[in-house]
Structure 1
């Protein structure tokens, strides 16, 4: 299908995009992983939004970076496209339900998707909530456009920093999230029900944003309500494991306290069900992380399994973790640590040579100049395509698959040809002979 994007880069949307490479931002199409479920780059939606690269993909939707031609600015677009329920038509754009048996499910989740858009629109005047700009139906599905957030979520920041972020900075992030949720609870009467490190986002200009209201629900202080079971195991309180138990502001309090604990320690709590079965956690005041007893006790009260004994409001949580006389300050930029995976020749004719790797991309390594992304020279025993290496950014893991005649070895053990193995950071790999050894690693650079 011909793209209407022309020479617009699908990442920065500059017009310096030729033969799959952008001379402005460095984007390269050959390193871009795009699911077959996703809309083609350059698709025009609502006669104004040009679809760019994929930002994220879940079971019920796909989020794209996009260019709003009417407003002349970059935005994000979320598309309802449930996995295993819908597929693309011949034009690779239309959403088609797989069978009549799945149509009711498709429609029910579509209504839920539109409800998320409605909730975000309702919260549009709260600075710490991602701002929705438009919602529309097209291609037998639905879309909503949002402000584009440039930064990283709290989980990514914690992982990149290797738990070296000062406790005061983490506390500041959680405080801003708590105060935003307090407004959402009191003014909109909405429970998020999915607060977690992935859903607290920090932009480059130091704003804290709460994202992903796909599980959110309006609540009332009186009367009975039914709640579907939606949760993240390590961050959800006991009441979210049942559709019979009442949920309230205290439900989000537990989730945010769990997120706070993880961000400070790098450790996720046992699930609420495991805790009910006897599993426990180490209180923050017993760790060497510069958290005083008052804050630690506040977190413990926010993590009570019995919701009646738990801290009830976000305001109370915020007051408990805020130091007396302190004020909330903008958080540091989330891009302070950049992780760059690489391969380096540790032994061989090209000793010291290093290649930095694009993430989430399978790269062929060997001596075949035409066949390989990474060329190893000076060793005829190495195959033209000797092995395939990939670095998965979300997990921080390397993976390797042998494709050779003479073998690939780790710790003296030959890998089974065609089988994928996980490599730890700083692992050493022998290619065919002990005369050629490569090392995989990740360089962390302040930006």
Structure 2
């Protein structure tokens, strides 16, 4: 938007002719005034969540961008009107909740005015029954437009863009904000050489308690698997994946294969195999951030930044899985992107299909054969019941961590669902251990850098705050969770970094006291009286010094030191205790190896089990995660297989061919009666049934093939 002579009919800068109507009937008329100071210009872009206009701030006399909250599912604007028309009923509730989030997000982002990689927020207000954000006008092109115009970029061209985005994400992640929609079309390259990250939280504005699980817009290739899941565990690692996918796109000119396809069969090639000149370390850093499973992926944006700058990064290989979800049809993925309303509508449509198509376990298709049902995400008891209905048996053979399938549900099945198997066949299952657990380390007294590295190593996310405190400047004075607390990886831990207390005279000297054997906390308070700061330089196990006691000090007793000096000491962790590993469902050999690696002894006893495969651990006496002394024996129970009675039953079942249903091929099942589709999406029901719906979709697809 530029000033031009009033006598001209057409703007010499953009070609706009005065009096031209808005691009769409629901857009604000050009020339309208908002909040008494912002002149609305032409539309820059619009979509399902709102409209962005170019504008002019009459007070500051500068061009701005005006973002209007106008989700098309919940509201519209009548021609020649300024107020929006909000749909009634549940849609009104969703509109109002989304508007509140829209304003809240703007206020949170306004705190990052000093971050050059984030669009500056100038103002935010409500009028016309909706809300507006006034933000910095960007003069440039999107990264997507550049790639379409110029093709792939070199490492040297790409790195400044990626590092600028990392800088922006570091700030917002520390404040608890996720982007969740990083891709080349949300990265803007300005004419002045700067890079901006756009649309923080745009996909969340219309998300309420009614549509919380599937309302995010999915961008295939850039969205990680957790964004496809109704209970996906999203966190900083979600943005790490999307940024890595963007980096990959920049270097290769190719969009990575969709994450759900990769989960089924990962064929993503390293950039070097596509002719990109890239160092092995940088390539490893990129591919680690692109790992499908969260447990194997780079967890934080800080670690991604460190890895990109390092010269010795090693590739974290993904444990190969035989995925049971298979390759999802594109139309299913699109439904997830569209949201709950569409999924609900599809559910109604599918219920009207013949029941034969939707039966979770297909009947025996020929004499002696059974079609394997989908057992993933079921409890073991439900999986066994479903398998038995299909003339099959199940056994637990392993357990593995997973961030998507809940704990104690079936994670994988040895024989993929939809395949034919001999009647009586045993399908071996892997049970989910849920999200990997970790334990909060004690970082109080440590220097900030060392503390963050230790938390990062534990799979936790450090969030810093800084204030005056009676502790050494630059060290951790407090942490938000008690040491040794069990939590899931990816949990945020707030650490308070001390600025010190001021005072003291750096020219004044005094003799260093002997601190060995003293309690760390008591010694720290004692030294503060002389304006000396105690720093935990090292923490190690020691059989002779109690936990928290000082083992040694860097500056010997009697040495003259200046006030305001930092005194580094080694602190005892006490007698070394070992955490007992989780042995359940591991083979006896694997369990023994895990214990040996931890410095523990294995003691196996045996017991028959109809649930757990022979040779696998049924349970352990010492609870996983509990602490025992090094060298202790851990007793676990190994399955010898099913009791003899059960074995005879299984053998009989295997010898008796299952009879095909007499009417399956002759009389198609009548469609199930359905109620009329509601005018508003029944999102609460859909939220609870997404997993079942997707499983039915897969069965439908399998039968069609």
Normalised to the residue count of structure 2, the TM-score between the two structures is 0.41
Choose from 142, 146, 155 the match for 1:167. 155
Structure 1 partner of 2:108:
119
Note the 1:207-222 alignment, pairs <5 A.
207-215=194-202
Structure 2 partner of 1:68:
57
Choose from 196, 202, 227 the match for 2:183. 196
Please give the alpha-carbon distance, in whole angstroms, between the structure 1 residues aligned to 2:215 and 2:14: 43
Where is the helix percentage greater, Structure 1 or Structure 2? 2
Which range moves more in the overlay, 38-47 or 92-101? 92-101
Aligned partner of residue 189 in structure 2, secondary structure: strand
Q: Is the 8 A contact 1:129 1:209 kept in 2?
A: yes
1:248 aligns with 2:235: yes
Aligned CA distance change for structure 1 residues 101 and 179 (closer, same or farther; 3 Å): closer
Structure 2 partner of 1:300:
287
Please give the alpha-carbon distance, in whole angstroms, between the structure 2 residues aligned to 1:319 and 1:79: 38
Per-residue deviation at 1:13? 3.5
Please tell me whether Structure 1 or Structure 2 has the larger radius of gyration of its CA atoms: 2
Please give the alpha-carbon distance, in whole angstroms, between the structure 2 residues aligned to 1:131 and 1:17: 34
Please give the alpha-carbon distance, in whole angstroms, between the structure 2 residues aligned to 1:162 and 1:297: 23
RMSD of aligned residue pairs (Cα, Å): 2.3
Deviation string, structure 1 residues 56-90 (Cα, Å, up to 9, x no partner): 10101100100000111111110011214322245
Deviation string, structure 1 residues 93-129 (Cα, Å, up to 9, x no partner): 1101133452112212212222321232133332211
Q: Is the 8 A contact 2:237 2:294 kept in 1?
A: yes
1:149 aligns with 2:126: no
Note the 1:181-330 alignment, pairs <5 A.
181-186=169-174, 188-215=175-202, 230=216, 231-322=218-309
Q: Is the 8 A contact 1:62 1:78 kept in 2?
A: yes
Deviation string, structure 1 residues 352-385 (Cα, Å, up to 9, x no partner): xxxxxxxxxxxxxxxxxxxxxxxxxxxxxxxxxx
Please give the alpha-carbon distance, in whole angstroms, between the structure 1 residues aligned to 2:150 and 2:279: 22
Structure 2 partner of 1:18:
8
Deviation string, structure 1 residues 328-362 (Cα, Å, up to 9, x no partner): xxxxxxxxxxxxxxxxxxxxxxxxxxxxxxxxxxx
Please give the alpha-carbon distance, in whole angstroms, between the structure 2 residues aligned to 1:32 and 1:236: 37
Specify every segment of 5 or more residues in structure 1 that has no aligned partner in the other structure, as ranges. 1-10, 218-225, 325-447
Please give the alpha-carbon distance, in whole angstroms, between the structure 2 residues aligned to 1:128 and 1:26: 27
Per-residue deviation at 1:227? 6.4
Per-residue deviation at 1:45? 0.4
Aligned partner of residue 190 in structure 1, secondary structure: coil
Structure 2 partner of 1:103:
92
Aligned CA distance change for structure 1 residues 242 and 181 (closer, same or farther; 3 Å): same
Q: Is the 8 A contact 2:49 2:202 kept in 1?
A: no
Which range moves more in the overlay, 170-179 or 98-107? 98-107
Please give the alpha-carbon distance, in whole angstroms, between the structure 2 residues aligned to 1:15 and 1:248: 51
Choose from 36, 42, 47 the match for 2:36. 47
Specify every segment of 5 or more residues in structure 2 that has no aligned partner in the other structure, as ranges. 205-211, 312-705
Aligned partner of residue 116 in structure 2, secondary structure: coil
Aligned CA distance change for structure 1 residues 293 and 40 (closer, same or farther; 3 Å): same
Please give the alpha-carbon distance, in whole angstroms, between the structure 1 residues aligned to 2:213 and 2:165: 23
Q: Is the 8 A contact 1:61 1:79 kept in 2?
A: yes
Q: Is the 8 A contact 2:40 2:56 kept in 1?
A: yes
Per-residue deviation at 1:162? 2.7
Please give the alpha-carbon distance, in whole angstroms, between the structure 2 residues aligned to 1:215 and 1:240: 15
